[in-house]
């Protein structure tokens, strides 16, 4: 190669690299990160209102939208990148009140992060506000909470007791002065409001066993649901508030804490001394009890030979079925049990090869909406299936990723978080039967949507 050819090649490479560099400089990292990132999508039980938290360049705020246009409205005015978390968004049944936590979760030492170096220290506080506008107001400092259906109160746990705080500062709390709302023996936790807000179900942990208690606010009293020596957890109210379903596991075995003699195996000890099961060998049951009388009955026993069902952590009562998530095989799926027909078999709602990621239920509890990768291992689509069982229907299809469904009360639409190769995660509305997602949040003009490359699968054969 002569000098002229080398010079020509060099000038071409410089020109090409300069053009490539110029193309790369058409957008910056700041441009890529410019869209807001939505999360915590929720919907009201009796109103077609949705709300979500959005992190826009470090500014975390609560947004809301209503039909027919679903134009996003920013409710809060946190307009600085101050590094303070905004989480745990909840909405009242009528959609008039939202509550959220501002502040970080404490570390193992109990310290809350203080990114602004506030001399008063970091704090984690529940705030409330109306969805019609106005300024948010401080409710209470705590770790986690449960908003009442009418949006008037929050429940929270402190030092093993259950407290109540008014959301609206104009309400006078009956327990002003720091007294618990429910004072009870043991470590009490996981309070759950009844659908009408008149009762509270909770777990009362006594160390080697636990009860489900129901507190009646109208005539203050506690009713324990079929109490015994077992470990009861996960209270779930029936839609009419008359009954409660819960999980039951065996209590602490009598000899579990005893020092074991050398040379003996577990099989050498009598049944029930160092490990416990129910009659039949299983270790998990689902019970249903009358919330007023406490009388209960067994609904379902997990198969003793299938350990995956023993890991059930939470149940829900939807319509006339109790539903839960379990992983008896290679995939984590949803199952339902008929309450009215206890002899009916357990129904797997989401069979097939794929993970169910996030779920939501129709307002009548008869339909499960879920996001999964059943049809496309690389993406998440939105599906629906009757809670009583039946054929699943895929609602969305295509190249998008649909996650975190929040069903609207009218039943004809579902709010989701949507993204694809060129669309940053956004809030979208999807018809509940089938159809394309309509994105309701907008991307900044500076976001280089056209510069994104649509990925393609490459399969390598070993």
Cβ distance 288 to 297 under 8 Å?
Answer: yes
Grade residue 176 by pLDDT with cuts at 50, 70 and 90. very low
Q: Which pLDDT value is given to residue 377?
A: 85
Q: CA 454 → CA 378, 381, 403, 427, distances in Å?
A: 13, 18, 20, 21
For residue 69, with 0-12 CB atoms within 10 Å meaning exposed, 13-18 middle and 19 or more buried, which class applies? exposed
Grade residue 9 by pLDDT with cuts at 50, 70 and 90. very low
The torsion defined by the Cα of 421, 427, 432 and 437, in degrees rounded to 10, comes to: -40
3-state SS track over 194-205: CCCCCEEEEEEE
Q: Which pLDDT value is given to residue 19?
A: 45
| For residues 354-371, average pLDDT | 96
The Cα–Cα gap between 30 and 33 comes to: 5
Grade residue 173 by pLDDT with cuts at 50, 70 and 90. very low
The Cα–Cα gap between 334 and 347 comes to: 9
Q: Going by C-beta distance under 8 Å and a sequence separation of 6 or more, which residues neighbour residue 264?
A: none
Which tokens in the block code for residue 294? Answer: 């406490």
Q: Which pLDDT value is given to residue 16?
A: 44
Closest CA to 438 of 459, 416, 408, 453: 416
Q: What is the separation, in whole angstroms, between the first and last Cα of the chain?
A: 42
| For residues 362-375, average pLDDT | 96
Q: Find the range with the poorest average confidence among 176-190, 251-265, 380-394.
A: 251-265
Q: CA 218 → CA 139, 162, 178, 225, 432, distances in Å?
A: 24, 17, 21, 18, 39
For residue 194, say if its preceding peptide bond is cis, omega within 30 degrees of 0.
no
pLDDT digits (tens, 9 = 90+) for 406-417: 999 999 999 999
| For residues 153-170, average pLDDT | 90
Displacement of CA 56 from its chain's centroid (Å): 22
What proportion of the chain, given as a percentage, has pLDDT over 90? Answer: 73
Q: Which pLDDT value is given to residue 214?
A: 98
Check residue 346 and report its DSSP letter. Answer: P
pLDDT digits (tens, 9 = 90+) for 183-235: 999 999 999 999 999 999 999 999 989 999 999 999 999 999 999 999 999 99
The torsion defined by the Cα of 50, 56, 58 and 60, in degrees rounded to 10, comes to: -20
Q: CA 162 → CA 108, 204, 311, 397, distances in Å?
A: 22, 10, 27, 45
Q: Which pLDDT value is given to residue 257?
A: 58
Cβ distance 82 to 75 under 8 Å?
Answer: no
Cβ distance 164 to 135 under 8 Å?
Answer: no
Three-state DSSP class for 402? strand
| For residues 126-142, average pLDDT | 94
Name residue, tokens 């746990």.
157
The Cα–Cα gap between 195 and 363 comes to: 12
Cβ distance 215 to 221 under 8 Å?
Answer: yes
What proportion of the chain, given as a percentage, has pLDDT over 70? Answer: 89
- The values of phi and psi at residue 75, to 5°, are -90, -45
Checking if the pLDDT of 1 tops 60, the result is no
Q: Which pLDDT value is given to residue 269?
A: 65
Number of residues written out for the chain: 462
Name residue, tokens 């339902």.
336
The Cα–Cα gap between 400 and 409 comes to: 25
CATH number of 349-453: 2.120.10.30
Residue bearing the bigger pLDDT, 316 or 274: 316
Q: Model pTM?
A: 0.88
Closest CA to 181 of 195, 197, 205, 165: 165
| For residues 279-289, average pLDDT | 92
Q: Which pLDDT value is given to residue 444?
A: 93
Q: Is 192 left (phi over 0), alpha (psi -120 to 50) or beta?
A: beta
| For residues 60-79, average pLDDT | 97
| For residues 153-164, average pLDDT | 95
Name residue, tokens 């996960």.
234
């Amino acid at each position: 190669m002569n000098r002229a050819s080398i010079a020509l090649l060099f000038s071409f490479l410089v020109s090409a690299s300069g053009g490539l560099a110029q193309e790369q400089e058409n957008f910056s990292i700041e441009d890529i990160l410019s869209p807001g990132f939505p999360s915590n999508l929720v919907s009201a039980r009796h109103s077609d209102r949705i709300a979500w938290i959005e992190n826009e360049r470090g500014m975390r705020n609560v947004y809301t939208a209503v039909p027919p246009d679903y134009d996003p409205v920013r409710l809060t005015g946190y307009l600085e990148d101050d590094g303070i978390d905004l989480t745990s968004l909840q909405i009242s049944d009528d959609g008039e009140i939202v509550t959220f936590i501002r502040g970080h979760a404490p570390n193992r030492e109990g310290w809350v992060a203080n990114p602004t170096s506030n001399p008063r220290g970091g704090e984690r506080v529940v705030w409330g506000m109306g969805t019609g506008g106005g300024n948010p107001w401080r409710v209470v400092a705590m770790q986690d909470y449960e908003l009442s259906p009418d949006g008037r109160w929050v429940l929270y746990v402190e030092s093993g007791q259950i407290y109540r705080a008014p959301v609206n500062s104009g309400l006078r709390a009956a327990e002003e002065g720091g007294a618990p709302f429910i004072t009870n023996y043991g470590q009490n936790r996981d309070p759950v409001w009844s659908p009408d807000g008149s009762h509270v179900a909770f777990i009362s942990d006594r160390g080697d066993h636990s009860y489900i208690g129901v507190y009646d606010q109208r005539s203050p009293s506690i009713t324990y649901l079929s109490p015994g020596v077992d470990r009861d957890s996960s209270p779930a109210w029936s839609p009419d508030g008359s009954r409660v379903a819960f999980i039951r596991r065996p209590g602490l075995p009598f000899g579990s804490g005893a020092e074991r003699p050398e040379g003996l195996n577990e099989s050498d000890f009598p049944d029930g001394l160092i490990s416990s099961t129910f009659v039949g060998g299983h270790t998990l049951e689902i019970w249903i009890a009358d919330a007023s009388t406490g009388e209960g009955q067994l609904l379902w026993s997990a198969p003793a030979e299938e350990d995956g069902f023993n890991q059930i952590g939470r149940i829900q009562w939807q319509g006339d079925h109790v539903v839960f998530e379990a992983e008896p095989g290679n995939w984590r799926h949803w199952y339902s049990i008929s309450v009215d027909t206890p002899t009916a078999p357990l129904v797997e709602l989401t069979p097939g090869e794929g993970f169910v990621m996030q779920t939501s239920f129709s307002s009548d509890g008869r339909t499960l909406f879920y996001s999964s990768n059943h049809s496309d291992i690389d993406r998440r689509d939105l599906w629906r299936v009757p809670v009583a069982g039946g054929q699943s229907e895929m609602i969305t299809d295509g190249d998008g990723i649909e996650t975190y469904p929040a069903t609207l009360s009218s039943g004809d639409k579902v709010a989701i978080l949507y993204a694809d190769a060129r669309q940053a995660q956004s809030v979208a509305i999807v018809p509940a039967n089938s159809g394309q997602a309509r994105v309701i949040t907008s991307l900044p003009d500076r976001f280089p949507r056209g510069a994104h490359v649509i990925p393609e699968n490459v399969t390598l054969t070993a």
